[in-house]
């Protein structure tokens, strides 16, 4: 029999244990598809005594994960501990430096250090694989890197964070406000005790930076991703969006713009006719538009032990077959250096919600700010007074430069008529 691919696994949390279970459950099928068995031979985790529901006695245990790539016979190292820096990055550097294939689900590390690690992999002619880093079990990395490789992509965008999508779709279905649904999501385990990375758009920004590099052949630039989360989305916003024929989703969106690259994570109004409007609960979905293939849609479970383990093992099967190329679809030296695009140059429509004093002249003040900034108003709705005496004013613009909307909001900044900061959500084209 062909020699097995021998794996050293760092991290035995939900996903790490899931990888072991998957390799056990589907061992015969995986061996046939990979052309040889795939076997875990060594593991490392923080707590050796913890019961993880799997038999660890058959594996060599290493308290120091830095030992894993140095073990004789190890072909590939799998990192499932997380974190952009620290032990995960140390292990990645050590593994690639030792000429070991490296597989990770760590989107933060790839977003911040992916180019460095890709160069190290190229230097040693070994694989660097990270399918599980974006959208869990959804094969979007492979889809963009391989399936769409012949196409020039116009844009890539999607629902990239399951926690935010669960919160927004629950608000949509039940008419509840953000804070209430977030607390429930935390109680159910769908949101972390500190949910900042999710609800402030950082997690989605990590994933978008990776997708943008793959889609457009550009150097990773996480710092250029403008990220806004969903903390300030009201149930009233979702209701107004529905009345206009839209649903609210936190979207990551990237596209070449002029000589630069536009990257943004932002709550958006999505037309009900668009496939992303129907992505509910903790699901993830990504849309890409190719000049020959047309619209591509990747959708599925974006987190959890099963989907993420599935993506990790799919990478291992590729390695066992000897199927790998540059981590970002082309050598790092071939990736283009593109500056961050000026978002003010983009044209589109916008949704604006104002919480204002219930008095004469407020609507005229808002309309004047729009007029003076060359913003054309498509519709304007005023709702009745709330319990605190404020009034909601909702405005939808005609298509125009984003810069003009920003200027209008600057004109209104500090106005005594406004009870709180306005809510801006861009409207996705169908």
The tens-digit pLDDT sequence of the chain (430 residues) is: 489 999 999 999 999 999 999 999 999 999 999 999 999 999 999 888 888 889 888 999 999 999 999 999 999 999 999 999 999 999 999 999 999 999 999 999 999 999 999 999 999 999 999 999 999 889 999 999 999 999 999 999 999 999 999 999 999 999 999 999 999 989 888 888 899 999 999 999 999 999 999 999 999 999 999 999 999 999 999 999 999 999 999 999 999 998 999 999 999 999 999 999 999 988 999 999 999 999 999 999 888 889 999 999 999 999 999 999 999 999 999 999 999 999 998 999 999 999 998 888 899 999 999 999 999 999 998 887 676 778 999 999 999 999 999 999 999 998 999 989 999 999 998 7
Q: Are 159 and 264 in the same domain?
A: yes
Take residue 377 and report the two structure tokens written for it.
């108003």
Q: Are 320 and 255 in the same domain?
A: no
Overall number of domains in the chain: 3
Q: Are 297 and 154 in the same domain?
A: yes
- Beta carbons of 350 and 397 less than 8 angstroms apart: yes
**Contacts (Cβ under 8 Å, ≥6 apart) of 351:** 237, 240, 241, 244, 246, 269, 394, 395, 396, 423, 424, 425, 426, 427
Q: Are 282 and 262 in the same domain?
A: yes
**Contacts (Cβ under 8 Å, ≥6 apart) of 88:** 79, 81, 82, 104, 106, 109
Alpha helical stretches, state H, 253-395:
305-321, 362-372
pLDDT of residue 47: 86
The pTM of this model reads 0.95
Which residue among the candidates 107, 129, 142, 207 is catalytic per the annotation?
A: 207
Q: Are 145 and 115 in the same domain?
A: no
Q: Is 129 a catalytic residue?
A: no
Q: Are 328 and 353 in the same domain?
A: no
Q: Domain containing 34: what range?
A: 5-136+308-334
Q: Are 16 and 106 in the same domain?
A: yes
Question: Domain holding 361: CATH number?
Answer: 3.30.70.260
Q: What's the CA gap between 155 and 42, in Å, rounded?
A: 41
- Beta carbons of 112 and 223 less than 8 angstroms apart: no
Take residue 338 and report the two structure tokens written for it.
């593109």
- Beta carbons of 361 and 181 less than 8 angstroms apart: no
How buried is 43 (Cβ within 10 angstroms: 0-12 exposed, 13-18 middle, 19+ buried)?
buried
Q: Identify the bridge partners of residue 123 per DSSP, sorted by sequence position.
A: none
Q: Give the CA distances from residue 387 to residues 216, 255, 358, 380, 390, in Å, rounded to whole numbers and listed in that order.
A: 49, 42, 12, 22, 7
Residue with tokens 């283009």: 336
Q: Are 244 and 125 in the same domain?
A: no
Q: What is the enclosing helix (H) or strand (E) of 354?
A: strand 347-357
Take residue 347 and report the two structure tokens written for it.
């044209």
Q: Are 220 and 89 in the same domain?
A: no
Question: Domain holding 17: CATH number?
Answer: 3.40.50.720
Q: What's the CA gap between 232 and 380, in Å, rounded?
A: 20
Find, among 106, 98, 91, 94, the residue nearest to 45 by Cα: 91
Q: Are 144 and 132 in the same domain?
A: no
Backbone dihedral region for residue 79 (phi beyond 0: left; psi -120 to 50: alpha; all else: beta)? beta
């Amino acid at each position: 029999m062909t020699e097995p691919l021998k794996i050293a696994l760092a991290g035995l949390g939900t996903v790490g244990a899931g990888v072991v279970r998957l390799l056990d459950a589907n061992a015969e099928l995986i061996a046939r598809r990979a052309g040889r068995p795939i076997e875990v031979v060594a593991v490392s985790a923080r707590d050796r005594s913890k019961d993880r529901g799997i038999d660890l006695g058959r594996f060599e245990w290493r308290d120091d994960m830095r030992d894993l790539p140095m073990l004789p016979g190890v072909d590939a190292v799998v990192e499932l501990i997380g974190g952009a820096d620290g032990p995960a990055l140390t292990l990645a550097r050590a593994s690639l430096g030792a000429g070991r294939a490296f597989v990770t689900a760590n989107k933060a590390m790839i977003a911040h250090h992916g180019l460095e690690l890709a160069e190290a992999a190229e230097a040693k002619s070994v694989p660097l694989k990270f399918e599980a880093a974006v959208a869990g079990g959804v094969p979007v990395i492979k889809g963009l890197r391989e399936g769409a490789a012949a196409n020039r992509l116009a844009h890539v965008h999607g629902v990239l964070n399951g926690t935010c999508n669960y919160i927004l779709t629950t608000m949509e279905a039940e008419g509840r406000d953000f804070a209430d649904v977030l607390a429930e999501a935390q109680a159910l385990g769908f949101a972390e005790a500190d949910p900042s990375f999710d609800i402030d758009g950082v997690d989605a920004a990590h994933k978008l930076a990776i997708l943008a590099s793959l889609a457009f052949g550009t150097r990773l630039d996480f710092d250029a991703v403008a990220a806004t989360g969903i903390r300030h989305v009201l149930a009233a916003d979702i209701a107004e969006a529905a009345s206009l024929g839209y649903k609210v989703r936190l979207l990551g969106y990237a596209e070449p713009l002029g000589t630069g690259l536009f990257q943004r994570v932002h709550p958006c109004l999505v037309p009900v006719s668009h496939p992303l409007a129907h992505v509910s609960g903790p699901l993830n979905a990504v849309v890409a538009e190719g000049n020959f293939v047309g619209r591509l849609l990747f959708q599925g479970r974006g987190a959890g032990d099963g989907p993420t383990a599935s993506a990790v093992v799919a990478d291992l099967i590729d390695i066992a077959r000897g199927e790998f190329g540059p981590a970002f679809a082309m050598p790092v030296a071939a990736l283009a250096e593109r500056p961050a695009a000026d978002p003010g140059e983009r044209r589109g429509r916008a949704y604006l919600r104002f919480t204002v004093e219930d008095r004469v002249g407020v609507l005229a003040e808002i309309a004047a700010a729009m007029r003076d900034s060359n913003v054309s108003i498509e519709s304007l709705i005023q709702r009745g007074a709330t319990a605190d005496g404020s009034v909601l004013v909702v405005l939808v613009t005609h298509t125009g430069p984003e810069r003009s909307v920003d200027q209008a909001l600057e004109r209104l900044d500090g106005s005594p008529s406004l009870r709180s900061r306005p809510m801006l959500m861009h409207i996705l084209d169908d």
